Amino acid sequence: MALLDSVPSIAILAISAVVLYFATHAIYNLYFHPLSQHPGPILNTISPLPRLYWNIEGREPQTVLKLHLKYGNIVRIAPNELSFITQAWKDIYGFKRPELSKDWTMYALSENTKRSIILSGTDHGRQRKMLAPAFSERALKLQQGMLTTYTGMMVEKLEERMKESKSVDMAKVFNCVTFDTIADLMFGEPLGLCENMEYSDWLSQLFVSIWLAGASRALQYFPLLFRLATMMIPKHIQDTIDSSYQNTVDKVNKRLAMSTERPDMLGLMLKHKEEGAEMTMDELYANADLLMIAGTETTATSLSGLTWYLLNNKPVLERLTKEVREAFNSIDDITMESLPRLPYLSACLEEGMRMFPAVAEGIRRVTPSTGATISGHFIPPNASLVKVSIPHYAAYHHPTNFHSPTTFAPERWLLSSHPLYNPIFASDKKEILQPFSVGPRNCIGLTLAYHEMRLIMANLLWHFGVELSGECDEGWLDQSSHLVWDKKPLMVKILARGSVA
């Protein structure tokens, strides 16, 4: 009986110990933590849970912007995490020793992910060296015919829809074009998406994998919980993930079995392998799977965002359409060499990526045990692996960096010699816009992405007039983000060439 009588006392002691632990932890984070001098919401400074909630909810980009508007250029968004909207790109992502390592909790890790260039540590340089020849300017010139093939197919399908007076989901069209292009460049054959402008089963599986990877990142903060969650994934979902990856493996193997010396990505990579760079088959599969996402979804998202803003800003659309149509006498003149000479097109691309960055969140880095100076602020040594980042959406929409940051104004990117230049944007901190990041781990496909976006947008406006369909959601921009945006259908009317919306 005495033992039973003591049970309530033991329970009270246990509960008190737990409360004391969390209270002590909160007090330390609030007043004694190395980051305690940085402003931020109290709940965020004492617990990572609010930050994880944004991640799961998919509202991280918008929430972080609100925090920067309230607290300033540097915000403590979690006990061990700082968000910067200053010009700290080189400090966080640049070439420096020791390098700030990637934060693995940003990624839904699998053995396949770990093998790719996105997370490889000391192997990163070796893998990038082998991938680089496939993304050089020389390679892209050899591949130009492949790129124009799919923009041509896009034009044909849009003409059909125009004759049928049917609205078109341009978000889907851009995905189909970019995926077919990269599949041809990677595997030696397209996915067949441009034939009907519809997703294949494989692409639908890939989108499921992308969403799961983004939505599950929050669990990485709790390794045990993450392991339990992965063990509890329903079989049909795991089968979808496995099937998507196996499709990539099969396509790589099929391309490798071809005897052709076609100048596609795998062909150029294998040729470089003979010259000294190495990559295992597992690494090859993992990087092919990665590039099918990174080389497609982000480009299609940028084009979708730009299209939305153009169709909601008629004067800008008219100026851009006029520039494209007056620059070329025929469609054959629209090439990768000629398009960069169109300043307003380039300005629209930059402004589109500022307003609707394909990756809206900050890509986190971890400070080394020796400490690091970020934007003039020293992160002390051994400060519990502090995470730092520049959130694209927040940095690009903050008045500290851009005049009238919520206004879509391509003029801000024009040179002062251009007739449309507007001096009110002269103070804009244009170097803060880094949609492809900087440093040794910046996007290897940057040049390809620009060429694709220019070709697709120029072909669209050279051939057609365009306007938003009544079927399009007026709140299209109000989207959730799980590393990439969960895009809504972008319904557009395709009009005859003489019609400028």
CB atoms within 10 A of CB 415: 8
Q: Are strands 101-102 and 365-366 parallel, antiparallel or unpaired?
A: antiparallel
Please report, in angstroms and rounded to a whole number, the separation of the first and last CA atoms in the chain: 86
Residue count of the chain: 501
Give CA–CA dist 193/199, Å, rounded. Answer: 6
**Which candidate, 144, 498, 476, 66, places its Cα nearest to that of 312?**
476
The CA distances from residue 317 to 313, 324, 352, 466, in Å, are 6, 11, 12, 9
Q: Are strands 377-379 and 372-374 parallel, antiparallel or unpaired?
A: antiparallel
Burial class (CB in 10 A: 0-12, 13-18, 19+), 431: exposed
Give CA–CA dist 45/150, Å, rounded. Answer: 49
Query: Residue 222: helix, strand or coil by DSSP?
Result: coil
CB atoms within 10 A of CB 439: 16
Give CA–CA dist 37/336, Å, rounded. Answer: 50
Q: What angle do CA 109, 115, 117 make, to 5 degrees?
A: 100
Give CA–CA dist 252/92, Å, rounded. Answer: 35
Task: Spell out the alpha helix ranges (H) of 219-368.
Answer: 223-231, 235-257, 265-274, 281-294, 297-311, 314-327, 343-355
DSSP string of 441-493, one letter each residue: GS-TTHHHHHHHHHHHHHHHHHH-EEEE-TTS-TTTT---EESEE-PPP-EEE
Give CA–CA dist 161/155, Å, rounded. Answer: 10
Please tell me whether 443 is known to bind a ligand: yes
**Which candidate, 356, 395, 385, places its Cα nearest to that of 484?**
356
Structure tokens at 9: 């006392």
User: Which residue ranges are tagged as binding site?
Assistant: 443
User: Which residue ranges are tagged as binding site for heme?
Assistant: 443
